[in-house]
A = this chain, B = another copy of it.
Amino acid sequence: MPFPVHPPTHAECTGAMRSVRDALDLLGGKWKLPIIVGLSNGPQRFKQLQREVVGITAKMLSKELKELEINGLLTRHVQADTVPVAVTYTLASYGKTLFPVIEALHQWGQQHRTHIMHPGAAAMLEEAAG
């Protein structure tokens, strides 16, 4: 088993599609992206992060953070000598390698909104292109 980290929620893929699926699954779900964005402005403690990621429950935040940590995207640091304990999550430099990917998604998604709202121009281009 070459890729034990992520649970195979989707069908097995062959060749190049496997890695696309991996990246998609890593960014997929409801909360992964907001969490990464929330941490992109600097380290956050659990409660801070929960306030930033509006609507997330402690259960989901805990679960998602665990997955992201296992994948090396963020690090978890426990300050044990305080009461109560303070836990800080930091976006790893490896996690920041996702930024170009997210940016690519952002660019496409943004133009897609305008594309959907002005389908006429696109249709004419389609027609011209055959």
Q: Could you tell me which A residues sit within 8 Å of B by CB distance?
A: 2-3, 5, 10-11, 13, 16-24, 26-28, 30, 33-34, 37, 54-55, 71-72, 75, 92-94, 97-98, 100-102, 104-106, 108-113, 115-117, 119, 122, 125-126, 129
Q: A20-B33, A122-B72 are in contact. Are A98 and B93 (CB under 8 A)?
A: no
Among all A-B residue pairs, the 10 with the closest Cβ atoms: A19-B109, A23-B109, A104-B104, A22-B109, A23-B105, A19-B110, A20-B105, A20-B106, A101-B108, A10-B30
Copies of this protein in the assembly total 2
- Greatest chain B CB density within 10 A among A108, A115, A117 is at A108
Candidates B19, B24, B97; contact of A113 at CB < 8 Å? B19
Inter-chain contacts of A113 with B (CB < 8 A): 2-3, 19, 22
Query: Is B21 touching A33 in the complex (CB atoms < 8 A)?
Result: yes
CB distance from A23 to the nearest CB of B (A): 4
- Bound state CA distance, A109 and B24, in angstroms? 8
